[in-house]
Amino acid sequence: MLNELQTMIFELGIIVVSSALIGTMFLYARQPIILAYIVAGIALGPSGLGLLNDSDRIIQFGQFGVILLLFLLGLNLQPFKLLSLFKESALITLGTCCLFFLVTLGFSLLIGLSPGDSLVAAAALMFSSTVIGLKLIPTTTLHHQRVGEVMTSVLLIQDMLAIIVILFLNVREPDAMISAFVLILLKLGLLCLLAYLGVRYLVLPLFRRFDVIQEYTFVTALAWCLLWAETAHLTGLSYEIGAFVAGLSIAISRVSQAISLHLKPLREFFLILFFFAVGAKMDITQGGTVLLWGGLFGVLLVAVKAAGFIVALKLAKEKAPQELSARLSQASEFSLLLAYSALTAGLVSDQGMLFIQAATLTTFILSTYWVVSRFPTPISSVSDLRKD
Protein backbone atom coordinates (compact mmCIF):
# COMPACT_ATOMS: atom_id res chain seq x y z
CA MET A 1 0.00 0.00 0.00
CA LEU A 2 2.82 2.37 0.94
CA ASN A 3 4.72 1.58 -2.26
CA GLU A 4 1.64 2.32 -4.35
CA LEU A 5 1.19 5.67 -2.58
CA GLN A 6 4.86 6.55 -3.13
CA THR A 7 4.57 5.60 -6.80
CA MET A 8 1.45 7.70 -7.22
CA ILE A 9 3.02 10.75 -5.58
CA PHE A 10 6.16 10.31 -7.69
CA GLU A 11 4.12 10.07 -10.90
CA LEU A 12 1.99 13.10 -10.07
CA GLY A 13 5.13 15.06 -9.21
CA ILE A 14 6.78 14.11 -12.51
CA ILE A 15 3.65 15.04 -14.46
CA VAL A 16 3.15 18.43 -12.81
CA VAL A 17 6.83 19.44 -12.86
CA SER A 18 7.38 18.36 -16.48
CA SER A 19 4.14 20.03 -17.57
CA ALA A 20 5.19 23.26 -15.86
CA LEU A 21 8.70 23.20 -17.38
CA ILE A 22 7.64 22.30 -20.91
CA GLY A 23 4.63 24.60 -20.59
CA THR A 24 6.99 27.48 -19.76
CA MET A 25 9.08 26.76 -22.85
CA PHE A 26 5.96 26.58 -25.00
CA LEU A 27 4.69 29.90 -23.68
CA TYR A 28 8.04 31.58 -24.34
CA ALA A 29 7.83 30.18 -27.87
CA ARG A 30 4.23 31.49 -28.05
CA GLN A 31 2.78 28.00 -28.51
CA PRO A 32 -0.50 26.56 -27.08
CA ILE A 33 0.07 25.20 -23.58
CA ILE A 34 -2.28 22.23 -24.13
CA LEU A 35 0.26 20.84 -26.60
CA ALA A 36 2.97 21.15 -23.93
CA TYR A 37 1.09 18.63 -21.77
CA ILE A 38 0.85 16.19 -24.70
CA VAL A 39 4.57 16.61 -25.52
CA ALA A 40 5.41 16.01 -21.85
CA GLY A 41 3.45 12.76 -21.99
CA ILE A 42 5.26 11.60 -25.13
CA ALA A 43 8.67 12.54 -23.69
CA LEU A 44 8.22 10.84 -20.31
CA GLY A 45 5.90 7.98 -21.30
CA PRO A 46 6.74 4.41 -22.35
CA SER A 47 7.90 5.44 -25.84
CA GLY A 48 10.05 8.26 -24.44
CA LEU A 49 12.24 8.22 -21.34
CA GLY A 50 10.01 5.60 -19.71
CA LEU A 51 9.71 7.41 -16.38
CA LEU A 52 5.98 6.68 -16.41
CA ASN A 53 5.00 3.28 -17.74
CA ASP A 54 1.40 3.04 -16.51
CA SER A 55 -0.34 5.51 -18.82
CA ASP A 56 -3.67 3.77 -18.20
CA ARG A 57 -3.67 4.87 -14.57
CA ILE A 58 -2.81 8.44 -15.57
CA ILE A 59 -5.65 8.63 -18.07
CA GLN A 60 -8.01 7.35 -15.39
CA PHE A 61 -7.03 10.34 -13.25
CA GLY A 62 -7.41 12.62 -16.23
CA GLN A 63 -10.87 11.27 -16.93
CA PHE A 64 -11.99 12.99 -13.75
CA GLY A 65 -11.17 16.29 -15.42
CA VAL A 66 -13.41 15.39 -18.35
CA ILE A 67 -16.20 14.52 -15.90
CA LEU A 68 -15.86 17.91 -14.21
CA LEU A 69 -15.77 19.62 -17.61
CA LEU A 70 -19.13 18.13 -18.57
CA PHE A 71 -20.57 18.89 -15.12
CA LEU A 72 -19.58 22.56 -15.44
CA LEU A 73 -21.02 22.68 -18.93
CA GLY A 74 -24.36 21.43 -17.63
CA LEU A 75 -24.28 24.01 -14.83
CA ASN A 76 -24.38 26.82 -17.37
CA LEU A 77 -27.17 25.52 -19.62
CA GLN A 78 -30.92 25.76 -19.26
CA PRO A 79 -32.66 22.40 -19.93
CA PHE A 80 -35.41 23.74 -22.21
CA LYS A 81 -32.94 25.78 -24.22
CA LEU A 82 -30.78 22.68 -24.62
CA LEU A 83 -33.69 20.69 -26.07
CA SER A 84 -34.27 23.44 -28.63
CA LEU A 85 -30.60 23.41 -29.59
CA PHE A 86 -30.65 19.63 -30.00
CA LYS A 87 -33.49 19.88 -32.50
CA GLU A 88 -31.62 22.48 -34.52
CA SER A 89 -28.25 20.70 -34.47
CA ALA A 90 -29.31 17.08 -34.97
CA LEU A 91 -29.22 17.16 -38.78
CA ILE A 92 -25.90 19.04 -38.81
CA THR A 93 -24.35 16.47 -36.49
CA LEU A 94 -25.70 13.36 -38.22
CA GLY A 95 -24.92 14.64 -41.71
CA THR A 96 -21.32 15.58 -40.93
CA CYS A 97 -20.68 12.36 -38.99
CA CYS A 98 -21.79 10.33 -42.03
CA LEU A 99 -19.47 12.34 -44.28
CA PHE A 100 -16.46 11.91 -42.00
CA PHE A 101 -17.22 8.19 -41.61
CA LEU A 102 -17.19 7.65 -45.38
CA VAL A 103 -14.03 9.70 -45.96
CA THR A 104 -12.14 7.82 -43.23
CA LEU A 105 -13.40 4.45 -44.46
CA GLY A 106 -12.31 5.18 -48.02
CA PHE A 107 -8.84 6.39 -47.00
CA SER A 108 -8.27 3.45 -44.64
CA LEU A 109 -9.15 0.90 -47.32
CA LEU A 110 -7.01 2.78 -49.84
CA ILE A 111 -3.84 2.48 -47.74
CA GLY A 112 -4.40 -1.22 -47.19
CA LEU A 113 -5.97 -1.48 -43.73
CA SER A 114 -8.26 -4.47 -43.30
CA PRO A 115 -12.04 -3.94 -43.63
CA GLY A 116 -12.44 -4.45 -39.87
CA ASP A 117 -9.72 -1.92 -39.01
CA SER A 118 -11.15 0.52 -41.55
CA LEU A 119 -14.66 0.32 -40.09
CA VAL A 120 -13.40 0.88 -36.55
CA ALA A 121 -11.22 3.81 -37.68
CA ALA A 122 -14.15 5.35 -39.55
CA ALA A 123 -16.42 5.03 -36.52
CA ALA A 124 -13.76 6.40 -34.16
CA LEU A 125 -12.63 9.41 -36.18
CA MET A 126 -16.02 10.86 -37.16
CA PHE A 127 -16.42 12.65 -33.79
CA SER A 128 -14.98 15.96 -32.52
CA SER A 129 -13.31 16.55 -29.17
CA THR A 130 -15.52 17.80 -26.35
CA VAL A 131 -12.47 18.44 -24.16
CA ILE A 132 -10.52 20.54 -26.68
CA GLY A 133 -13.64 22.26 -28.02
CA LEU A 134 -14.74 23.41 -24.56
CA LYS A 135 -11.21 24.06 -23.30
CA LEU A 136 -10.44 26.49 -26.14
CA ILE A 137 -13.62 28.56 -26.11
CA PRO A 138 -14.09 31.56 -23.79
CA THR A 139 -16.69 31.04 -21.08
CA THR A 140 -18.69 34.09 -22.19
CA THR A 141 -18.84 32.77 -25.76
CA LEU A 142 -19.71 29.25 -24.63
CA HIS A 143 -22.66 30.21 -22.47
CA HIS A 144 -23.96 33.48 -23.90
CA GLN A 145 -23.35 33.46 -27.65
CA ARG A 146 -24.80 31.44 -30.50
CA VAL A 147 -21.38 30.02 -31.47
CA GLY A 148 -21.00 28.42 -28.04
CA GLU A 149 -24.56 27.12 -27.97
CA VAL A 150 -24.36 25.42 -31.37
CA MET A 151 -20.93 23.93 -30.63
CA THR A 152 -22.19 22.58 -27.31
CA SER A 153 -25.22 20.90 -28.84
CA VAL A 154 -23.17 19.34 -31.68
CA LEU A 155 -20.58 17.97 -29.25
CA LEU A 156 -23.18 16.55 -26.88
CA ILE A 157 -25.04 14.79 -29.68
CA GLN A 158 -21.72 13.38 -30.91
CA ASP A 159 -20.87 12.17 -27.40
CA MET A 160 -24.17 10.31 -27.19
CA LEU A 161 -23.55 8.77 -30.63
CA ALA A 162 -20.06 7.72 -29.52
CA ILE A 163 -21.46 6.02 -26.42
CA ILE A 164 -24.00 4.16 -28.58
CA VAL A 165 -21.24 3.01 -30.97
CA ILE A 166 -19.09 1.79 -28.07
CA LEU A 167 -22.02 -0.18 -26.64
CA PHE A 168 -22.72 -1.68 -30.07
CA LEU A 169 -19.16 -3.00 -30.37
CA ASN A 170 -20.14 -5.94 -28.19
CA VAL A 171 -23.54 -6.50 -29.81
CA ARG A 172 -23.73 -8.81 -32.82
CA GLU A 173 -27.47 -9.28 -33.52
CA PRO A 174 -29.45 -6.50 -35.35
CA ASP A 175 -32.47 -6.97 -33.07
CA ALA A 176 -30.21 -6.62 -30.05
CA MET A 177 -28.86 -3.34 -31.46
CA ILE A 178 -32.35 -1.86 -31.73
CA SER A 179 -33.19 -3.00 -28.23
CA ALA A 180 -29.93 -1.56 -26.90
CA PHE A 181 -30.64 1.82 -28.52
CA VAL A 182 -34.16 2.01 -27.07
CA LEU A 183 -32.80 0.97 -23.69
CA ILE A 184 -30.21 3.76 -23.78
CA LEU A 185 -32.91 6.37 -24.43
CA LEU A 186 -35.04 5.01 -21.58
CA LYS A 187 -32.09 5.02 -19.18
CA LEU A 188 -31.19 8.57 -20.16
CA GLY A 189 -34.75 9.79 -19.69
CA LEU A 190 -35.01 8.14 -16.27
CA LEU A 191 -31.64 9.54 -15.25
CA CYS A 192 -32.73 13.09 -16.13
CA LEU A 193 -36.05 12.71 -14.29
CA LEU A 194 -34.48 11.38 -11.09
CA ALA A 195 -31.76 14.05 -11.11
CA TYR A 196 -34.36 16.80 -11.54
CA LEU A 197 -36.49 15.47 -8.68
CA GLY A 198 -33.43 15.08 -6.48
CA VAL A 199 -32.36 18.68 -7.05
CA ARG A 200 -35.84 20.12 -6.56
CA TYR A 201 -36.71 18.30 -3.37
CA LEU A 202 -33.30 17.67 -1.80
CA VAL A 203 -30.37 19.72 -3.13
CA LEU A 204 -32.06 23.11 -3.56
CA PRO A 205 -33.58 23.13 -0.04
CA LEU A 206 -30.14 22.32 1.36
CA PHE A 207 -28.52 25.06 -0.74
CA ARG A 208 -31.09 27.62 0.43
CA ARG A 209 -30.41 26.76 4.05
CA PHE A 210 -26.61 26.55 3.98
CA ASP A 211 -25.55 28.59 0.91
CA VAL A 212 -23.68 31.08 3.12
CA ILE A 213 -21.12 28.33 3.82
CA GLN A 214 -19.14 28.12 0.56
CA GLU A 215 -17.35 24.90 1.50
CA TYR A 216 -20.68 23.13 1.92
CA THR A 217 -21.92 24.29 -1.48
CA PHE A 218 -18.67 23.12 -3.06
CA VAL A 219 -18.61 19.64 -1.52
CA THR A 220 -22.34 19.06 -2.09
CA ALA A 221 -22.11 20.03 -5.76
CA LEU A 222 -19.07 17.79 -6.23
CA ALA A 223 -20.86 14.93 -4.48
CA TRP A 224 -23.90 15.41 -6.74
CA CYS A 225 -21.67 15.31 -9.80
CA LEU A 226 -19.93 12.10 -8.79
CA LEU A 227 -23.15 10.44 -7.62
CA TRP A 228 -24.79 10.77 -11.02
CA ALA A 229 -21.58 10.06 -12.91
CA GLU A 230 -21.30 6.73 -11.10
CA THR A 231 -25.03 6.05 -11.47
CA ALA A 232 -24.83 6.60 -15.22
CA HIS A 233 -21.81 4.32 -15.46
CA LEU A 234 -23.51 1.54 -13.51
CA THR A 235 -26.56 1.72 -15.79
CA GLY A 236 -24.46 1.31 -18.95
CA LEU A 237 -24.15 4.95 -19.95
CA SER A 238 -20.97 6.96 -19.30
CA TYR A 239 -19.52 8.95 -16.44
CA GLU A 240 -19.55 12.05 -18.66
CA ILE A 241 -23.25 11.80 -19.48
CA GLY A 242 -24.09 11.37 -15.80
CA ALA A 243 -21.98 14.38 -14.85
CA PHE A 244 -23.61 16.51 -17.53
CA VAL A 245 -27.10 15.53 -16.35
CA ALA A 246 -26.08 16.37 -12.78
CA GLY A 247 -24.87 19.80 -13.82
CA LEU A 248 -27.93 20.43 -15.96
CA SER A 249 -30.22 19.59 -13.03
CA ILE A 250 -28.51 22.19 -10.82
CA ALA A 251 -28.56 24.84 -13.57
CA ILE A 252 -32.00 25.94 -12.35
CA SER A 253 -30.39 27.11 -9.09
CA ARG A 254 -29.03 30.63 -8.58
CA VAL A 255 -25.84 29.23 -7.03
CA SER A 256 -24.86 27.36 -10.22
CA GLN A 257 -22.48 30.14 -11.35
CA ALA A 258 -20.73 30.25 -7.96
CA ILE A 259 -20.30 26.46 -8.04
CA SER A 260 -18.81 26.71 -11.51
CA LEU A 261 -16.16 29.16 -10.34
CA HIS A 262 -15.24 27.01 -7.32
CA LEU A 263 -14.74 23.84 -9.41
CA LYS A 264 -12.79 25.38 -12.29
CA PRO A 265 -9.26 25.07 -10.74
CA LEU A 266 -9.93 21.42 -9.86
CA ARG A 267 -11.03 20.77 -13.42
CA GLU A 268 -7.86 22.37 -14.83
CA PHE A 269 -5.59 20.14 -12.75
CA PHE A 270 -7.20 16.92 -13.89
CA LEU A 271 -7.30 18.05 -17.52
CA ILE A 272 -3.52 18.42 -17.36
CA LEU A 273 -3.39 14.73 -16.41
CA PHE A 274 -5.74 13.88 -19.27
CA PHE A 275 -3.65 15.56 -21.98
CA PHE A 276 -0.44 14.18 -20.49
CA ALA A 277 -1.91 10.67 -20.68
CA VAL A 278 -2.94 11.21 -24.33
CA GLY A 279 0.73 11.79 -25.13
CA ALA A 280 1.93 8.93 -22.93
CA LYS A 281 -0.38 6.45 -24.71
CA MET A 282 1.21 7.32 -28.06
CA ASP A 283 3.97 4.87 -29.04
CA ILE A 284 5.99 6.74 -31.65
CA THR A 285 8.76 4.10 -31.74
CA GLN A 286 6.64 1.55 -33.60
CA GLY A 287 4.30 1.49 -36.53
CA GLY A 288 6.50 2.75 -39.35
CA THR A 289 4.37 3.36 -42.43
CA VAL A 290 1.07 3.12 -40.56
CA LEU A 291 2.21 5.89 -38.22
CA LEU A 292 3.03 8.12 -41.19
CA TRP A 293 -0.29 7.34 -42.87
CA GLY A 294 -2.09 8.18 -39.64
CA GLY A 295 -0.33 11.52 -39.35
CA LEU A 296 -1.03 12.33 -43.00
CA PHE A 297 -4.69 11.45 -42.62
CA GLY A 298 -4.88 13.59 -39.49
CA VAL A 299 -3.89 16.60 -41.63
CA LEU A 300 -6.48 15.64 -44.26
CA LEU A 301 -9.17 15.03 -41.64
CA VAL A 302 -8.83 18.53 -40.16
CA ALA A 303 -9.40 20.01 -43.63
CA VAL A 304 -12.31 17.67 -44.38
CA LYS A 305 -14.02 18.34 -41.06
CA ALA A 306 -13.61 22.09 -41.43
CA ALA A 307 -15.05 22.05 -44.96
CA GLY A 308 -17.86 19.68 -43.98
CA PHE A 309 -18.96 21.78 -41.04
CA ILE A 310 -18.78 25.01 -43.06
CA VAL A 311 -21.13 23.59 -45.69
CA ALA A 312 -23.51 22.10 -43.10
CA LEU A 313 -23.61 25.27 -41.00
CA LYS A 314 -24.20 27.47 -44.02
CA LEU A 315 -27.06 25.23 -45.13
CA ALA A 316 -28.50 25.55 -41.62
CA LYS A 317 -28.03 29.36 -41.90
CA GLU A 318 -25.85 29.51 -38.80
CA LYS A 319 -23.59 32.50 -38.20
CA ALA A 320 -19.77 32.32 -37.92
CA PRO A 321 -19.40 28.97 -39.74
CA GLN A 322 -15.63 29.48 -40.11
CA GLU A 323 -15.06 29.76 -36.36
CA LEU A 324 -17.36 26.87 -35.54
CA SER A 325 -15.77 24.64 -38.18
CA ALA A 326 -12.28 25.37 -36.82
CA ARG A 327 -13.32 24.60 -33.26
CA LEU A 328 -14.87 21.27 -34.35
CA SER A 329 -12.15 20.18 -36.80
CA GLN A 330 -10.32 17.63 -34.63
CA ALA A 331 -10.93 13.99 -33.71
CA SER A 332 -12.22 13.15 -30.24
CA GLU A 333 -11.06 11.67 -26.97
CA PHE A 334 -13.88 9.22 -27.69
CA SER A 335 -11.86 8.21 -30.79
CA LEU A 336 -9.23 6.75 -28.47
CA LEU A 337 -11.78 5.27 -26.07
CA LEU A 338 -13.69 3.61 -28.91
CA ALA A 339 -10.44 2.25 -30.36
CA TYR A 340 -9.40 0.80 -26.98
CA SER A 341 -12.84 -0.81 -26.61
CA ALA A 342 -12.53 -2.32 -30.10
CA LEU A 343 -9.02 -3.60 -29.33
CA THR A 344 -10.29 -5.28 -26.15
CA ALA A 345 -13.13 -6.88 -28.12
CA GLY A 346 -10.70 -8.11 -30.78
CA LEU A 347 -12.27 -5.98 -33.50
CA VAL A 348 -9.18 -3.96 -34.45
CA SER A 349 -5.51 -4.86 -34.87
CA ASP A 350 -2.49 -3.12 -33.36
CA GLN A 351 -1.85 -1.49 -36.75
CA GLY A 352 -5.38 -0.12 -36.91
CA MET A 353 -5.05 1.12 -33.32
CA LEU A 354 -1.83 2.97 -34.14
CA PHE A 355 -3.42 4.56 -37.21
CA ILE A 356 -6.29 5.91 -35.08
CA GLN A 357 -3.89 7.18 -32.39
CA ALA A 358 -1.64 8.97 -34.90
CA ALA A 359 -4.55 10.56 -36.75
CA THR A 360 -6.23 11.67 -33.52
CA LEU A 361 -3.10 13.22 -32.04
CA THR A 362 -2.31 15.02 -35.32
CA THR A 363 -5.79 16.56 -35.40
CA PHE A 364 -5.42 17.64 -31.76
CA ILE A 365 -2.19 19.50 -32.58
CA LEU A 366 -3.31 21.11 -35.85
CA SER A 367 -6.77 22.20 -34.69
CA THR A 368 -5.37 23.63 -31.45
CA TYR A 369 -2.82 25.72 -33.38
CA TRP A 370 -5.54 26.87 -35.74
CA VAL A 371 -7.99 27.94 -33.05
CA VAL A 372 -5.42 29.55 -30.75
CA SER A 373 -3.86 31.59 -33.57
CA ARG A 374 -7.12 32.79 -35.14
CA PHE A 375 -9.91 32.90 -32.55
CA PRO A 376 -10.44 33.99 -28.92
CA THR A 377 -9.32 31.37 -26.38
CA PRO A 378 -8.45 31.41 -22.66
CA ILE A 379 -4.87 30.20 -23.41
CA SER A 380 -3.84 32.36 -26.37
CA SER A 381 -0.37 33.91 -26.18
CA VAL A 382 -1.75 36.92 -28.08
CA SER A 383 -3.33 39.38 -25.63
CA ASP A 384 -6.06 40.47 -28.08
CA LEU A 385 -7.24 36.85 -28.44
CA ARG A 386 -6.91 35.84 -24.78
CA LYS A 387 -10.41 35.79 -23.33
CA ASP A 388 -12.02 33.72 -20.59
- CA-based nearest residue to 326, from 307, 350, 348, 339: 307
pLDDT band, residue 50 (cuts 50/70/90): confident
pLDDT bracket for residue 324 (50, 70, 90): confident
The rounded distance, in Å, linking the Cα atoms of 273 and 63 is 8
311 vs 302: CA distance, rounded Å: 14
Q: What amino acid is encoded at 317 in this protein?
A: K
> CA 37 to CA 275: how far, in whole Å?
6
Range among 122-126, 240-244, 349-353 rated most confident = 122-126
Q: What is the pLDDT of residues 184-223, one digit of tens each?
A: 778 888 888 898 888 888 888 887 787 667 778 788 888 8
Mean pLDDT of 89-107: 90
The amino acid occupying position 321 is P
- The per-residue pLDDT for 297 is 93
Contacts of 158 (CB under 8 A, 6+ apart): 93, 97, 127, 128, 130, 332, 334
- CA-closest candidate to residue 331, choices 281, 367, 307, 355: 367
| pTM given for the model | 0.75
Angle at 275 between CA 301 and CA 52, to 5 degrees: 125
